[in-house]
Amino acid sequence: MIVDTVPTAAARAPRADAEPRIRPAAPADLEALVALEQRCFDSDRLSRRSFQHLLTKGHAATLVAEQDGGLAGYALVLFHGQTALARLYSLAVDPAARGQGLARQLLAAAERAALAEGCAVLRLEVRADNAAAIALYRAVGYRRFATVLDYYEDHETAERMEKILTRGAGAAREVPYVAQSLDFTCGPASLMMAMAALDPDSPRDRSAELRLWRESTLVFMTSGHGGCGAYGLSLAAWRRGFAVRVFITDTGPPFLDSVRSEEKKEVMRLVHQDFVAEARVAGIPVEQRGLSADELAGFVAEGAVPVVLISSYRIYGEKYPHWVAVTGADERFLYIHDPFVDVDQDKTPTDCIHVPIARAEFHRMARYGSARLRAAVILTGKREESA
């Protein structure tokens, strides 16, 4: 969504002189917000339906600037599950109210809303040709961390920017981002990210993603294609010359309770047994225990890249196993690359890169199912014999 402070439509009226009042939006503001959107933007507009959803159901904060009995601007902030990441989805100021510093006031209010939600980082996208908006963001502490070509409806480039809102939120290491291309390839996508961080020549295309899935899938899971377990992922990394370690609380077949058919369960058991036998022959170290968030942070500090199983419930509200790559750590947070980009919720990779999660929250998140399975595949580098 566009984040803009430069006029794109004719002013409705002379500039108002009354001091604006910034407050949370209410459902009664819907029509005024839609009208304001029409006045502010020529393209990439939020629809009435989107505003209605965000005002009533969305995990978001919509702040409006009320002036002379009408709305002079708004800021819309999206939150990302139980993570410490917020996104400034849109900021708009009525053409008639520009030049008063209202955009800066709305931006400050958006940052306060993100902090109140427990967020450590606020991110946004802004048009690359919007020099005034970029200057504003830079002036108050935002930095560019990515450029996205052909992002807007008119094919304009977007600059992705972020601001650290809390003390202690640290920088994560450089890990190339890979979005999963299918519902069941979070494990391969996370593994590709970890391998690429340790070996820049490691492939990150879709063929590599599917090849990794074929090598590590348990064949069946729920009603769809099979997910990937820790043994299969570790073997796929080992075959590509990486040194790996596995930490897992249950060395039996994972995800069995996700299928009802005994025939399918038997297939999963056989596949898992083969993985275990291959890992033993390969000499992959396996420890039957889970890792704490502090231990994961320790591996990151040593230069390793953990690929960790989490339950998606605390991020997406749905109970399914999900793999992520841990990209960094500081005294308060772990940072992850989440391969799933939920486009149905208007998410972009901005919401999925170096996502900060409080250590205690990550520890609660990093278990799955009634057995509370904990699993992590730790990539520490290339093996000497394959380097």
Q: Is 153 a catalytic residue?
A: no
Measured at the alpha carbon of residue 175, what is the angle toward residues 224 and 123, in degrees to the nearest 5?
85
The CA R_g of the chain, rounded to the nearest whole Å, is 23
Length of the chain: 387
**Largest Cα–Cα distance of the chain, in whole Å?**
77
Burial label, 83 (beta-carbon count in 10 A; 0-12, 13-18, 19+)? buried
Question: Are 22 and 106 within 8 A, CB to CB?
Answer: yes
Q: Is 137 a catalytic residue?
A: yes
User: 125, 162, 215, 361: which is the annotated catalytic residue?
Assistant: 125
**379 φ/ψ sector (left φ>0, alpha ψ -120 to 50, else beta):** beta
User: 37, 74, 111, 137: which is the annotated catalytic residue?
Assistant: 137
Active site residues: 125, 137
